[in-house]
Structure 1
Amino acid sequence: MASIFSKIVAGEIPCHKIAENDDFLAFLDVFPCAKGHTLVIPKKEVDYIFDVDEETYMGLMAFARQIEPAIKKAIPCKRIGVAVIGLEVPHTHVHLIPMNSMADMNFNSKLKLSQDELIEIAERIRSYI
């Protein structure tokens, strides 16, 4: 059964897309820890990040690195935190989270943003890519 992320890649489920190429996709987390919380995924579905082949792993990190400056410009913050949890969705993904303190990466405390807010945040981030 395809993961929710594979369904997003296939266009079966909408997302607030930040960037995309042939192999990777970045989109806003709809249950973010902080405004601008972005997920970066390989389009190829592999559950565990360390089961991803070397080329995909390095490509995923390079793609995330391309997205980071746009998030930081769009969402003023001290840093962009990076996390790989791997338990929420059985599809490798990297969390890029704008943060001013460690509390901003609390996965037990999620923001509730409207669709309009998510659209505006995605547009702001894309404007810096």
Structure 2
Amino acid sequence: MASLFSKIAAGEIPAHKVAEDESYLAFLDINPLAEGHVLVIPKKEVDYIFDLDDETYAGLHAFAKKVAIALRQAVPCVRIGVAVIGLEIPHVHIHLVPMNNMDDINFSRPKLKPSPEELKATAEKISAMI
């Protein structure tokens, strides 16, 4: 059965996309730690990041870097935090989180609840920087 992220990549489930090419997709987390929290995935469904072939692994990180640069321009912050946890959805994904302090990437704290309109506006700001 296809993962939630595979369904997003296939267009079966809507998402606030910020960047996409033939192999990778970046979209906003709907339960973000901070405004602009982006998830970056390979379109190829693989559960564990270190099971990716070398080309996909390198391409995913290069794509994430491009998104992170745009994200930092769109959402003022000190750094873009990067996390790969991979326990919640069985599809490789990289979290890109705008950070101003260490607590901004604390996954145990309460998540934000942005409206669909706020998510759309944030996605458009990030996309415009790519």
Scaled to the shorter chain, the TM-score interval is over 0.9
For residue 52 of structure 1, what is the aligned residue in structure 2?
52
Q: For the residues of structure 1 that align with 2:31 and 2:102, how far apart are their CA atoms?
A: 18
**Any residues of structure 2 matched to 1:82-121 within 5 Å, and which?**
82-108=82-108, 109-121=110-122
Cα shift at 1:90 = 0.2
Q: For the residues of structure 2 that align with 1:38 and 1:105, how far apart are their CA atoms?
A: 12
**Any residues of structure 2 matched to 1:1-129 within 5 Å, and which?**
1-108=1-108, 109-129=110-130
Where does structure 2 lack aligned partners over 5 or more consecutive residues?
none
TM-score, normalisation: structure 1: 0.98
Task: Give 1:45's aligned amino acid.
Answer: E
Percent identity of paired positions between Structure 1 and Structure 2: 64
Q: For the residues of structure 2 that align with 1:106 and 1:10, how far apart are their CA atoms?
A: 30
Cα shift at 1:46 = 0.2
Q: For the residues of structure 2 that align with 1:70 and 1:30, how far apart are their CA atoms?
A: 19
Where does structure 1 lack aligned partners over 5 or more consecutive residues?
none
Deviates more, 1:108-117 or 1:91-100: 108-117
Q: For the residues of structure 2 that align with 1:106 and 1:117, how far apart are their CA atoms?
A: 22
Cα shift at 1:15 = 0.3
Q: Which portions of structure 1, spanning 4 or more consecutive aligned residues, are displaced by more than 2 angstroms?
A: none
Q: For the residues of structure 1 that align with 2:99 and 2:62, how far apart are their CA atoms?
A: 20
Question: What do residues 71-99 of structure 1 show as CA deviations (whole Å, max 9, x unaligned)?
Answer: 00111000000000010110000000000
RMSD: 0.6
